Structure 1
Amino acid sequence: MKWTASKVFQCVTLFLLASALEIGGCYGFWRAVRLEKNKLWAAFGAASLVAYGGVFLLMPMDAFARIMAAYGGVFIVSSYAFGAAVEGFKLDAGDYVGASIALAGVGVCLFWPRE
């Protein structure tokens, strides 16, 4: 696959959508089981996780393992952002350094020259 600006935009958009759906889905279960015990949160979580699984089918790349490996770094950064925005989680220097390393890894996974 040859990278173009539109493919990069598509991947970034889909990675962000996937992370929102995955984190939202897991948080739905977290709220249902650990916080509120409301089954509607679990239903939301299940629907969100099903949608999350489908997002990767829209990726312009063919290597599932490479997609998931790169997504892992996006998930790390998104998890920190969610924690800070929703739960008031205070990030420290180690969180920022770790997230930066993860994003650098995403770039290497995706854009390393391949034959």
Structure 2
Amino acid sequence: MTVARSVVLFVVAALFEIGGAWLVWQGIREHKGWIWIGAGVIALGLYGVVATWQHDDNFGRILAAYGGIFVAGSIAWGMVADGYRPDRYDVIGALVCLAGMAVIMYAPRSH
């Protein structure tokens, strides 16, 4: 699997997980109702499916690496969906997480 395909899968997974959590948040916290909550639950389930499409067979590695994508993606989602403006520490932290994701997922290993 190429790094590019792996990154695309991480991004798609992030859209489902972050989007699903946001839909549940909107359904409960913003009183938008059960349709939003149900759509969020479905999206969260699809996140789990997409995560299985990564080439690596190690569940822990995939989820740990995905954590970096989740952190950066959550900040980006907040900017787009809710008008959140990250400060420099948010940005630095997200970049550190993305660097950690790259090391965990793409470091050369002898198999």
Q: Please say whether Structure 1 and Structure 2 have the same fold, judged by a TM-score greater than 0.5.
A: yes
Tell me the equivalent position of 2:45.
50
Seq. identity, %: 38
Tell me the equivalent position of 2:5.
10
User: Alignment partner of 1:113: what SS?
Assistant: coil
Contact 2:3 2:106 in 1 (8 A): no
| Structure 2: segments with no counterpart, 5+ residues | none
User: TM-score when scaled to structure 2?
Assistant: 0.94
Q: Distance in 1 between matches of 2:53 and 2:62?
A: 11
Shift of residue 37 of structure 1? 3.8
Q: Deviation per CA, 1:34-70, whole angstroms, max 9, x where unpaired?
A: 1024111011101101111101121111111111111
User: Alignment partner of 1:91: what SS?
Assistant: coil
Shift of residue 113 of structure 1? 2.5
Contact 2:27 2:35 in 1 (8 A): yes
Tell me the equivalent position of 2:86.
91
Q: Deviation per CA, 1:72-93, whole angstroms, max 9, x where unpaired?
A: 0000000000001110001101
Tell me the equivalent position of 1:63.
58
| Structure 1: segments with no counterpart, 5+ residues | 1-5
User: TM-score when scaled to structure 1?
Assistant: 0.91
The letter for the 2-side match of 1:57 is: T
